[in-house]
């Protein structure tokens, strides 16, 4: 038990160490998750800020375009007004020219002396007309410039839209890739966490099962020791009762010898003696019935113990056949041990009851002895009926022989019960030995597993060391290559300088 407790302590320490490692690993994984989430948040924040800035730029460009369009509309309205004014002026000049021509024709037809007609100047001054022409040319130039600017801005807007679309696509692709990577990392971390949790639970279950096995063994040992103590106590009680019955028989024989000498004085009280003998016989019959009931109860208990033996054998075979289902079988063994404890309690109660019955029988026997003493006192005064009393004494001797034979049979039965109990104890001790063997095998398996783990760890460390050595060699080779390249470059420079 000490070794097993020490092994349990070692296993608990290993479990705590593994638990600490798993907690540290889980903490590292949680920190990695936090860093990934922080990076994701930062990237999303940066992308959102870029989108906001680009949206602001687009709004600014749209406002500028709206302003340019508004200016364009104003310029077009100004142009239309100027064109209307020019058309009005052209129509006025055309009317004046037609009137001048009509007047010239009338003069020629009336043969009036030709008067040199000077061209009538238009009412509109030339300066204003030139100014209007200049303004028209300027507005046309402005319109052409505005149209060119609008075309340039439209091209820029198209480029910006294309750039925005491309940036959105790239941003969406980056977001999708980042989300996929983060989801994969999260799934891997979840899988690792679940695996670690499963390992922790399996180790907890193993420790719990081993502790339950030890507890069951300890309880079984305590029950067996208590049963052994009760059996020894019962054996001592039975031996004491046998000795007391033998002493009582010897005393009865001595009293019978005395009564044979005094039978002559007991003839006139034969009727009373017969009645009292009948009472004694009834009491003896009651005691015999009680003994028979006790024997039946013992037989029932033996049958129950045989049943329990068969069940334990079946359970042991199931344990050997199904080592994978140790937890369920341990629960069944615990239930059966509880049933055995209940049966032992029932046995103890039955034994207590039988002890009380024996006490009652002893009290009845003591009362009968007291009655016999009273009768002996009365027999001293009787001396007439010796022949009949001798017959009664012979009958009593036969009854005593029967009682002795029954006591011998009971002794044989008790010996058989002791043998059966000893066999049961031996079988249970064998079961305990088997449990110890199974525990030893489990311990050996655990040791082999630990050794395999140590071997694997050593191989991993060896491989890591080999990788480190290879990396160091590669670094040295790279350094040598760099040195050679530098030397080659220096030599080439020297050769070039010499040439």
- According to the 3-state scheme, what is the secondary structure of the chain? CHHHHHHHHHHHHHHHHHHHHHHHHHHHHHHHHHHHHHHHHHHHHHHHHHHHHHHHHHHHHHHHHHHHHHHHHHHHHHHHHHHHHHHHHHHHHHHHHHHHHHHHHHHHHCCCCCCCCCCCCCCCCHHHHHHHHHHHHHHHHHHHHHHHHHHHHHHHHHHHHHHHHHHHHHHHHHHHHHHHHHHHHHHHHHHHHHHHHHHHHHHHHHHHHHHHHHHHHHHHHHHHHHHHHHHHHHHHHHHHHHHHHHHHHHHHHHHHHHHHHCCEECCCCHHHHHHHHHHHHHHHHHHHHHHHHHHHHHHHHHHHHHHHHHHHHHHHHHHHHCCCCHHHHHHHHHHHHHHHHHHHHHHHHHHHHHHHHHHHHHHHHHHHHHHHHHHHHHHHCCEECHHHHHHHHHHHHHHHHHHHHHHHHHHHHHHHHHHHHHHHHHHHHHHHHHHHHHHHHHHHHHHHHHHHHHHHHHHHHHHHHHHHHHHHHHHHHHHHHHHHHHHHHHHHHHHHHHC
> What six digits make up the tokens of 133?
């022409």
pLDDT along the chain (499 residues), means of 10: 73 78 76 77 79 79 76 77 75 76 73 42 55 68 70 71 71 70 68 68 68 65 68 69 69 68 63 67 72 73 70 68 60 64 66 66 64 61 61 69 74 75 74 72 71 72 75 76 74 69
Query: Residue 117 has what pLDDT?
Result: 40
Q: Which helix (H) or strand (E) holds 112?
A: none
Distance of CA 31 to the CA centre of its chain: 23
Q: What is the DSSP letter of 266?
A: T
Measured CA to CA, the distance from residue 236 to residue 48 in angstroms comes to 95
> What six digits make up the tokens of 231?
């059996």
Q: What are phi and psi of 265, to 5 degrees?
A: -90, 0
CB atoms within 10 A of CB 424: 19
Query: Residue 260 has what pLDDT?
Result: 61
Measured CA to CA, the distance from residue 392 to residue 399 in angstroms comes to 10
Query: Residue 282 has what pLDDT?
Result: 75
Distance of CA 227 to the CA centre of its chain: 40
C-alpha closest to that of 306 among 225, 480, 165, 423? 423
Contacts 24+ apart (CB under 8 A), 66-69: 68/146, 68/149, 68/150, 68/153, 69/150
Q: What is the largest CA-CA distance in the chain?
A: 224
Query: Residue 489 has what pLDDT?
Result: 73
Total-model pTM: 0.24
Give residues with Cβ within 8 angstroms of 263, minimum separation 6. 379, 382, 383, 385, 386, 389, 390, 393
Query: Residue 270 has what pLDDT?
Result: 56
Query: Residue 146 has what pLDDT?
Result: 65
Output the CA angle 446-449-454, nearest 5 degrees: 125
């Amino acid at each position: 038990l000490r070794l097993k407790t020490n092994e349990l302590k070692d296993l608990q320490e290993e479990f705590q160490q593994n638990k600490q490692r798993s907690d540290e690993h889980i903490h590292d994984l949680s920190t990695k998750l936090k860093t990934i989430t922080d990076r994701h948040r930062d990237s999303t924040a940066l992308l959102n800020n870029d989108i906001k800035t680009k949206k602001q730029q687009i709004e600014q460009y749209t406002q500028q375009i709206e302003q340019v369009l508004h200016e364009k509309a104003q310029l077009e309205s100004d142009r239309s007004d100027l064109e209307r004014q020019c058309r009005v002026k052209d129509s006025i000049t055309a009317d004046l020219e037609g009137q001048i021509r009509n007047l010239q024709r009338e003069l020629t037809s009336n043969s009036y002396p030709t008067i040199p007609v000077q061209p009538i100047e238009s009412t509109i001054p030339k300066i204003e007309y030139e100014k209007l022409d200049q303004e028209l040319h300027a507005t046309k130039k402005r319109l052409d410039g505005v149209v060119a600017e609008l075309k340039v801005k439209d091209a820029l807007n198209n480029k910006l839209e294309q750039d925005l679309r491309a940036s959105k696509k790239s941003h969406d692709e980056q977001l999708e890739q980042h989300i996929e990577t983060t989801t994969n990392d999260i799934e891997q971390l979840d899988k690792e966490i679940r695996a670690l949790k499963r390992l922790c639970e399996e180790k907890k279950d193993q420790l719990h099962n081993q502790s339950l096995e030890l507890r069951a063994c300890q309880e079984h040992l305590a029950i067996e020791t208590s049963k052994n103590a009760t059996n020894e106590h019962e054996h001592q009680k039975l031996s004491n009762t046998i000795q007391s019955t033998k002493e009582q028989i010897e005393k009865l024989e001595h009293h019978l010898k005395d009564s044979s000498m005094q039978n002559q004085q007991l003839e006139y009280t034969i009727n009373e003696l017969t009645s009292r003998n009948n009472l004694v016989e009834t009491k003896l019959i009651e005691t015999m019935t009680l003994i028979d009931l006790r024997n039946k109860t013992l037989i029932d208990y033996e049958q129950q113990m045989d049943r329990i033996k068969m069940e334990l054998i079946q359970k042991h075979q199931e344990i050997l056949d199904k080592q994978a289902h140790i937890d369920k079988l341990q629960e069944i063994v615990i239930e059966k041990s509880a049933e055995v404890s209940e049966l032992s309690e029932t046995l103890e109660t039955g034994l207590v009851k039988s002890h009380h019955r024996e006490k009652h029988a002893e009290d009845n026997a003591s009362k009968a002895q007291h009655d016999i003493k009273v009768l002996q006192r009365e027999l001293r005064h009787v001396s007439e009926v010796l022949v009949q009393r001798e017959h009664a004494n012979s009958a009593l001797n036969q009854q005593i022989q029967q009682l002795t034979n029954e006591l011998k049979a009971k002794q044989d039965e008790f010996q058989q019960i002791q043998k059966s109990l000893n066999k049961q104890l031996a079988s249970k001790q064998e079961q305990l030995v088997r449990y110890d063997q199974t525990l030893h095998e489990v311990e050996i398996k655990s040791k082999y597993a630990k050794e395999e783990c140590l071997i694997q760890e050593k191989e991993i460390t060896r491989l890591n060391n080999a990788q480190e050595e290879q990396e160091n060699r590669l670094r040295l080779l790279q350094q040598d290559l760099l040195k050679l390249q530098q030397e080659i470059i220096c030599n080439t420079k020297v050769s070039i300088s010499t040439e």
